[in-house]
Amino acid sequence: MKSCELKCISLLTLAVLFFVSIQSCAPTSENKVVDDIVKQMSLEQKAQLVIGTGMYFSMPDSVRDKLPPMFGGAPKEDTPYNRMVDHIRTYLPGAAGNSAEFPELGITTQVLSDGPAGLRISPTREGDSNTYYCTAFPIGTVMASTWDTKLVETVGKAMGEEVLEYGSDVILGPALNIQRDPLCGRNFEYYSEDPLVAGKMAAAMVRGIQSNGVGTSIKHFVANNQETNRMSVNTIVSQRALREIYLRGFEIAVKESQPWTVMSSYNLLNGTYASESHDLLTNILRDDWGFKGYVMTDWGGGSDPVAQMLAGNDMVQPGSQQQIQAIIDGVNSGKMTEDQLNLNVKRILNIMTETPRYKGFVPSNKPDLEGHAEVTRQAAADGMVLLENNGVLPINQSVKNVAAFGNTSYDFISGGTGSGDVNEAYTISLIQGLENAGYSIDKGLQETYETYMKNTRAKANRPDNFLAAMMGGKIPVAEMDLDPAIAAKMAKTSDIALITIGRNAGEGGDREAKPGDFYLNQAEKDLIKNVSEAFHKEGKKAVVILNVSGVIETASWSSTPDAILCAWQPGQEGGNSVVDILTGKVNPSGKLAVSFPFTYDDTPTAKNFPGHAVESDGPADDTPDQSGFSFMQRVPWEVTYQEDIYVGYRYYNTFNVPVAYEFGYGKSYTTFEYSNLTLSSNEFSDKITVSIDVINSGNVAGREVVQVYASAPNGKMEKPEEELVAFGKTGLLQPGASETLTFTIDASLLASFDESSSSWIAEAGSYTLSVGASSTDIKAQDIFSISSDIKVGTVSNSLAPRKKIDTLHQ
């Protein structure tokens, strides 16, 4: 669409708004406006509002023609509704969905576009030579590894400006499911294995994004911790694990940042679709936590739109004609009252009155992409985790020539695949980052790799289907078998070796505990070994860079190179951010927000991931797959969370299972000393204040992530060895400088969920408070006691499992 057309539409919208705002001068303006609109709406319009307007992807007609109606493929009748749908789709090409627009009633569409690592829209538009690129920010796992909520808020602010200036109303993120198992294909979008980290990061991101006057949709609510049969998996989990692990991050985000919307997840939860669960969406989300916005389904989630409305899932996305009819029939048959539907409609309209589109904002289509490139560059560097460093980093100033090994050095991965992929203008590769910083890279080696990748891709079958179109169609290339003679030659001519190991993953599939995925394959093992040995022979060093979407096995090879930097998938400025760390321009300060186990079998979830097929016994089986795509199929399936509350470090540290790198771990180029741990009291009443001094005892400036863990007594409820209760990050401390960090621990942070009374209780007894540089590198400890049980709050008795779970115990 041309910009003048956009402006004309906006003027029209403004005129309507002017009319609406004249009508809405009454003191109770927002509600009165919404109440008045609802009174004027027909049943059909209400049904059309709660059901999305279908999904539309910009793609070749040959692909689109094969798509089912849900994706905008089938021909449609020329009706006013369909004309409206066609029209609103032009507002923001590439958006994931819209709500309906009724200008005659003052109802503007809400444009919903993916996230969470940046705004996902089409970079180009038919008949328009302008480009509409968005910033690919670092993935969620990087953001969490910064442990810096202020920085995350800054990233959110930048991301939200793109949402606003490109004319979207709500971004579908952040995503904060728990990284329950290292193989979940979407872990990259998620923050952590720990709910406090996930919740605090999500809250910061929501605050940042929403400070622009646009909305967020925190997702996927809840216990959607795998991609295998995600549409139909029944997640069986105890109420305690739900409350303490899986719901907790969402609770923090809702209470601390008031996201405009929540996206319910695809899976069933103890036998009921999340999107049809009144326990989840009304009892917990609204009654227990006070959520005020609206809930939308994940795209194609659930099976019964009426059940969804009744549960408190107010909008169904992407929506179909059949679903609109189901709502109308639901009211006409008495399955659902019109008052119920009005409630769902009002929640959507309440948010609508907050949107930029409703307020008449005219998007510039010119967000500050240059400024945001700086933001992403810094954020990514701050989230990289230095795993090993035997005195090689930062790179010595005498180093000038670099030999870059590994396909991924040349084909750097900025983020994962699927709806979380951003259409960015560029990705800075490792070699570009090196060249930008003035290093020479070996051109012969570059050519070898680039030719290999080009030839391999040319030979591969290019998948010409919807999924490929959605995933960006990039064909992954297996690591090249490097001739050891090349390594030997490079060791003579180059000053240092950098070896990048790449992994990608994304929506629609989980990873595998196999070579080439969780484990290194033979070519990668040989690469690290041969290059390291060749360079060591010449008295030179080799550094491994992990450009990965999630955890991989490291223990079997980590002592071979001289350093390992976990760069994750760091967004579009990735190569520059890595080089900022390698050169010491930025001192690494990231720490792991997820544990790195020795082997996959060491993980507490290995026995129960991704679950197993079951006899069909629920609504999932009757629901036809609307998409025609394998990853959207509904296979009767269940997964039981037997590990219960023992997720990640809660398991490793309680059951003494050694890991390769523990939760909270990360190295710096400097050292820190901790002193002066002070507790406000050793007798806990309603809260306790903890302070600690951190001094930079090394030679270069740096920042330290400080973690506070509590070990509770094993009383009525058994407790993990320790749980994170607070964290903070120092400012940039010059050598010799110190900072005092202060944390407040209230009873809610110490409480466990007692299923028998449906309440949170901090049990009486002696507690140990440990302040550490990681979950096991504890620097100072003190104890305090709680004299009698403190009941922190009673909540609804919701989501009880229908099957007995044989949960893990100490």
Considering only CA atoms, which of 252, 234, 256 is closest in space to residue 176?
Answer: 252
Classified as helix, coil or strand, 672 is: strand
- Does 264 engage in binding with ligand BGC (CB under 6 A)? no
Cis peptide before 610 (omega within 30 of 0): yes
CA dist 245 → 222, 229, 295 (Å): 11, 22, 21
d(CA 558, CA 564): 7
Nearer to ligand BGC, 137 or 535 (CB): 137
Segment 143 to 182, residues that bind ligand BGC, using CB under 6 A = 172
Of 261 and 547, which CB lies nearer to ligand BGC in the complex structure? Answer: 261
CA distance 751 to 686: 12
Helix (H, G, I), strand (E, B) or coil at 589: coil
The distance of closest approach from Cβ of residue 122 to ligand BGC in the complex, given in angstroms and rounded to an integer, is 13
Contact 789, 783 (CB under 8 A): no
Q: Which is nearer to ligand BGC, 176 or 579 (CB)?
A: 176
Q: Does 218 bind ligand BGC (CB under 6 A)?
A: no
| Per-residue three-class SS string for 653-702 | HHCCCCEEECCCCCECCCCEEEEEEEECCCECCCEEEEEEEEEECCCCCE
Q: Which is nearer to ligand BGC, 114 or 495 (CB)?
A: 114
Q: Which of residues 526-585 bind ligand BGC (CB under 6 A)?
A: none
Question: Omega before 278 cis (within 30°)?
Answer: no
> 634: Cβ–Cβ under 8 A, 6 or more apart, which residues?
229, 231, 232, 620, 621, 623, 625
Shortest Å distance, C-beta 298 to ligand BGC: 5
Query: How many amino acids of this chain bind ligand BGC (CB under 6 A)?
Result: 8
Using the minimum distance from each CB to ligand BGC, give the nearer residue, 417 or 583: 417
Nearer to ligand BGC, 299 or 439 (CB): 299
| Closest distance to ligand BGC from the beta carbon of 159 (Å) | 15
Query: C-beta of 470: minimal distance to ligand BGC in Å?
Result: 9
In the complex with ligand BGC, the residue whose CB is nearer, 225 or 419, is: 419
> Within positions 490 to 509, which residues make up the interface with ligand BGC, using CB under 6 A?
507
695 strand-pairing partners? 673, 738
Please name the residue that has the structure tokens 């920010």. 137
Q: Candidates 84, 96, 694, 695: give the one binding ligand BGC (CB under 6 A).
A: 96
Specify whether the CB–CB gap between 215 and 259 falls below 8 A. yes
Least Å distance, CB 171 to ligand BGC, is: 9
Per-residue x/- mask for ligand BGC, residues 293 to 312, rule CB under 6 A? Answer: -----xx-------------
Q: Which two tokens stand for residue 39?
A: 């009174």
* 421 phi, psi to nearest 5 deg: -85, 140
CA torsion through residues 121, 122, 127, 130, sign: positive
Q: To the nearest whole angstrom, how small is the minimum distance from the Cβ of residue 172 to ligand BGC?
A: 4
Q: Which of residues 504-533 bind ligand BGC (CB under 6 A)?
A: 507
**Can you tell me which of 46, 180, 219, 634 binds ligand BGC, judged by CB under 6 A?**
219
- Minimum CB distance to ligand BGC smaller for 299 or for 651: 299
* Residue closer to ligand BGC (CB basis): 100 or 692: 100
How distant, in Å, are the alpha carbons of 48, 52, 93, 321, 612 from that of 77? 16, 18, 22, 12, 43
- How many whole angstroms separate alpha carbon 766 and alpha carbon 411? 53
Structural contact between residues 313 and 276, judged by C-beta atoms closer than 8 angstroms: yes
Work out how close the CB of 526 gets to ligand BGC at its nearest, in angstroms, rounded to a whole number: 37
Within residues 354-393, the interface with ligand BGC by CB under 6 A covers none
Enter the tokens of residue 381: 């560097």
Distance CA 650, CA 663 (A): 10
Comparison of 406 and 509: residue with beta carbon closer to ligand BGC = 509
Q: Does residue 419 touch ligand BGC according to CB under 6 A?
A: yes
Tell me the Cα Rg of the chain.
26
CB of 221 to ligand BGC, least distance (A): 11
User: Min. distance of Cβ 201 from ligand BGC in angstroms?
Assistant: 17
Residues 241, 195 contacting (CB under 8 angstroms): no
Of these, 114, 161, 276, 524, which contacts ligand BGC (CB under 6 A)?
114
Nearer to ligand BGC, 219 or 650 (CB): 219
Which positions touch ligand BGC (CB under 6 A)?
96, 114, 172, 219, 298-299, 419, 507
